[in-house]
Chain A
Amino acid sequence: MKKEGHDAPARKYRYNCPSQRHGPIFMTDRTHKAVALISGGLDSMLAAKVILDQGIHVEGINFFTGFCVEGHTHAIRKRDQAKPKRNNALWVAERLGIKLHIIDIIEEYKDVVINPRHGYGANLNPCLDCKIFMVGKARQWMMENGFDFIITGEVIGQRPKSQRKDTMPVVARESGADDRLLRPLCARNLPPTLPEREGWVDRERLHGFSGRTRKPQMELAKRLGLEDYAQPAGGCCFLTDENYSRKLADLWRARGEKRYELDDIMLLKVGRHIRPRPHFKLIVAREEGEGRFLQGYKNRYPHLQTVSHGGPLTLVDGRPSPQDMELAARIVARYSQGRNAETVEVKTVYGGEEGLLAVTPLKPHEIPPEWML
């Protein structure tokens, strides 16, 4: 039977660099294919570029977990923002001239966030389990599409929990990728992988970066002409964010179990979250962009809107009683332009029924700090 993809045997050739700038390169008689995990940040872009420059066919893969910083923010951004937010993973792929496959892993990823076998990082970020899961998915994609190996932008010591010398083999082993997982930025600090041993890539032209410093990456970016890279603040996902994690922990506490839907985790990204009672919370838009974002959810949630004064759209998550709705209206009035008025009229929509409440806005000292999530 004819073997295809990563099972096909390849013959090796020795190639001596005429300029003698580097030692011999071993080349094979077919182009090997690598799938690169592309986050949209600098490291994964550099890793892909280093391998591309060795004549390997590279395609990118990007996973959408629902927690990603990328993408969704389009919906929240202000319309008048001078520079529209781009999807950095798409931008990186375009910059490198490679295809990018964006994979929806929202459902499967829940188990990673809810039950991480290796625990959480500083916040609710299950980085090690996440890496293992994503590399495992990339491995599956590699096999289905006849690719030969996987590359990531990991650097030893770059992140205290998930990118350490002792966690590198854990990711390789538990993902099932084993020695088909190549980290071009720190490969020379690790045992040679299959693509290196087989001569598909030249180990000499890989890197030995380590530690938290970003300097070697910046220098390499400069050398490769990739200085206009993206610098996403706060890592690849919201789970590393302290405020976000606190709101997620609150959600789980309120529900009495670790469970979430996509809507829940999207809504944790926007608005002021206020929990005046254990069984309900309010999500108050802080500016126009958030208001537009929440508009998209208002048919699925009870909501309030001030009518006598300008004010933010507010969603209610939970099961508020009629008294609770009145308290909610007083809080909403507090964040409206009528905050100093005697009475503010608030429209309520709950269970398909509309109501109108005339309420006195709460005073700032009547909102205890512990309500604010």
Chain B
Amino acid sequence: MDAVSRIVVDARGLLCPLPVIRLQDAVKNLPPDTEVELIGTDPGVMQDIPAWCRINGHRILESRSDGNQYHIKLKTGR
């Protein structure tokens, strides 16, 4: 079940707000409580993705950066 319900959105090389748009499109038809991970290279994702999640009722589980990459894990809401 977990393996099926985890989605990775690769937004590396994209500048904001494109990572938000890619995430939004990926999440659109997902059921609640699906885990999604976004990987990006634009530091703006660390601010924009949490804001977008707050607006849309998704929950951030973890956000971290390793060198030049940013990883944000979230769980879809409603």
Interchain CA distance A93-B44 in the complex, whole Å: 17
In B1-41, the 8 Å CB interface with A consists of 13, 15-18, 20-21, 24, 41
Interchain CA distance A89-B21 in the complex, whole Å: 13
Contacts of A75 in B (CB 8 A): 15-16, 42-44
**Does B51 contact A87, Cβ atoms closer than 8 Å?**
yes
Per-residue contact bits, chain A 50-87, to B (CB 8 Å; 1 contact, 0 not): 00000000000010100010111011000100001111
Identify whether the interface residues of A are mostly helix, strand, loop, or mixed: mixed
Contacts of B13 in A (CB 8 A): 296
Chain A's nearest CB lies how many Å from the CB of B67? Answer: 13
**Does B24 contact A90, Cβ atoms closer than 8 Å?**
no
Contacts of A373 in B (CB 8 A): none
Size class of the B contact interface (CB-based, 8 Å): 10 to 19
**Does A87 contact B48, Cβ atoms closer than 8 Å?**
yes
Given contacts A98-B55, A100-B55, A296-B13, contact A86 B47 (CB under 8 A): yes
Q: What is the chain A residue whose CB lies nearest that of B41?
A: A296
**Does A74 contact B55, Cβ atoms closer than 8 Å?**
no
Given contacts A85-B44, A87-B44, contact A71 B51 (CB under 8 A): no
Q: What is the chain B residue whose CB lies nearest that of A74?
A: B44
Interchain CA distance A84-B44 in the complex, whole Å: 8
Contacts of B21 in A (CB 8 A): 64, 102-104
Is A94 an interface residue, CB under 8 A from the partner?
yes
Is A99 an interface residue, CB under 8 A from the partner?
yes
Chain B's nearest CB lies how many Å from the CB of A4? Answer: 19
Give me 27 A-to-B residue pairs in the complex whose CB atoms sit less than 8 angstroms apart, sorted by A's number: A62-B17, A64-B21, A71-B15, A71-B16, A71-B44, A72-B44, A74-B16, A74-B47, A75-B16, A75-B42, A75-B44, A84-B47, A85-B44, A86-B48, A86-B51, A87-B17, A87-B44, A89-B17, A90-B20, A90-B48, A98-B55, A99-B55, A99-B56, A100-B55, A102-B20, A104-B21, A266-B15
A-to-B contact residues, CB < 8 Å: 62, 64, 68, 70-72, 74-75, 79, 84-87, 89-91, 93-94, 98-104, 266, 296
